Chain A
């Protein structure tokens, strides 16, 4: 089956710094990738949809200047949390879509901002 990886799996950063999370589709080309955020014991909330070579589409309430998304190739999307604050601590999950209806999810990245 299709595999999506995320790196890093865990990251701890200091308040005010920026951190980049990578999402890669390992054995297929993904024209669309999605970024989700999950708070403890809560469901996944879609943050943004990124299409290769174009600007990401952000969901209502998500600050595009804070969560920078780049989808530079058909196998890589990055999420950069800029000027991170403790409230940005969360579990971030990406997914990649190969066909119209199938999404494959990455293992997630645990971000802790101290």
Chain B
């Protein structure tokens, strides 16, 4: 049974810092891995999708890597801003999406 774990559960950083969010999964037989952002009381915004054959994806200040063999992914946020404050969820796909519990990020001005 696939299990997805995200560390840390919560993170508070001053504005401008670079930061890394971690995601690990137990079954490497996945189609892809996605990172989402969720603002309080809102739905999900897809940030990056990495296919199982890919190693990383970049979008603006975000970079996500995938090491399928070790069951790990990281989301790197460069030059963090207060507007980045949200919960970040990773999810792995093998027909259905299995979500991690999320990392609640607070970027302090």
Question: Which A residues form the contact surface with B (CB < 8 A)?
Answer: 6, 34, 41-46, 49, 91, 93, 95, 100-108, 110
Please name the 7 residue pairs, one residue from A and one from B, whose CB atoms are nearest each other, closest first: A107-B43, A105-B44, A43-B99, A43-B101, A108-B43, A44-B99, A105-B43
In the complex, chain A residues whose CB is within 8 Å of the CB of B48: none
Indicate if the CB atoms of A106 and B100 lie closer than 8 Å. no
A108 adjacent to B42 (CB under 8 Å): yes
User: Chain B residues near A107 (CB, 8 Å)?
Assistant: 42-43
Closest chain A residue, CB of each to CB of B100: A43
Q: Is B93 an interface residue (CB 8 A)?
A: yes
Whether A43 and B102, one on each chain, are in contact in the complex, defined by CB atoms closer than 8 angstroms, is yes
Q: Which residue of A lies closest to B45 (CB)?
A: A105
CA distance A45 to B101 in the complex (A): 10
**How many B residues are at the interface, by size bracket?**
20 to 34
- B20 contacts chain A at the CB level, 8 A cutoff: no
Q: Closest A residue to B41 by CB, please name it.
A: A110
17 contacts between A and B (CB under 8 A): A34-B96, A41-B104, A42-B101, A43-B89, A43-B99, A43-B100, A44-B44, A44-B97, A44-B99, A46-B98, A49-B96, A101-B32, A105-B36, A105-B43, A105-B46, A108-B43, A110-B41
Q: Are A46 and B96 in contact (CB under 8 A)?
A: yes
Pick from B51, B97, B98, B101: contact of A103, CB below 8 A: B97
